[in-house]
Amino acid sequence: MAVHIAFLGPAGTFTEVAARKYAAANYSAYHMAPFTTVGDVLLAVDDRQVDCGVVPVENSSEGTVVLTLDYLVHEVDVRIIGEVVVPIRHHLLGWDQAALESITDVVSHPQALAQCRRHLQQLLPHARLHMSHSTAAAVQQVKESRNARMAALGTQLAREIYGLRILQADMQDSDKNATRFLVVAKQPVPASGDDKTSIVFGFKVDRPGNLYRALREFAIRNINLTKLESRPARRELGDYLFFADLDGHVDEAPVQAALAELQKECSLVRVLGSYPQARSLNQNLE
């Protein structure tokens, strides 16, 4: 039976690229289902409309996708079961008859526009920039506009789907530009032997040394934290939740012990998922 996988659509997004990469490595048969927003993807998984979903969580240039974190904590009850790192290559796509120097308008997702800011300024300093909810939607918009003066920043996959021409390849300002995507489902996955655990925690009361005491529980057990950041807790100004990624699986004794001690200091400790980690960013970029 084919696995149904939700992704941020329409067809041709980087999220679809990540979803197909994950599916090819893990499933013999799968069906791809595009959804309009990150929230729609996560809600579809939570409601069991699909078996799993793929959403972006951070970009090496633009940082965290905060909507993904907020939904994982406040809106849905799902588990992270995997991660995929995709190198980001933005191409300027337009109609076959379009001349690069005649482009007056460029449309794409806000993060794509930001990641190509310098090259756009150099190549098309007078072009008007327009935002779309995804890179693929931008390519679709240019295709449907029949306007040879409009171009989109999009993927090679979107170019193939919508039949546009690459006016300028590799528009991203950084050659190391990459995005990390999370794969989520209703059920957790067993330990693989090379895992990462994502957690969120918040303190009972605001007092000096809270974060120090929390992080100490991981340090004394030689558990490496690979990411730590805060987000508003949605209760009152100055009240924050902390998101952390750490090496190891939640079923491993050192991780369990650290989380048990963390519970004593916190009003909230939630495991968002333990999953096989993409071991090296450089390996994923090859």
- Which residues are known catalytic residues? 179, 181
| Cβ-proximal residues to 228 (8 Å cutoff; 6+ apart), any chain | 215, 242, 243, 244, 245
Neighbours of 209 (CB within 10 A): 9
Neighbours of 144 (CB within 10 A): 9
DSSP 82-121: EEEEEE---EEEE-TT--GGG--EEEE-HHHHHHTHHHHH
Cα-atom radius of gyration of the chain, to the nearest Å? 21
Q: Which amino acid is at 239?
A: D
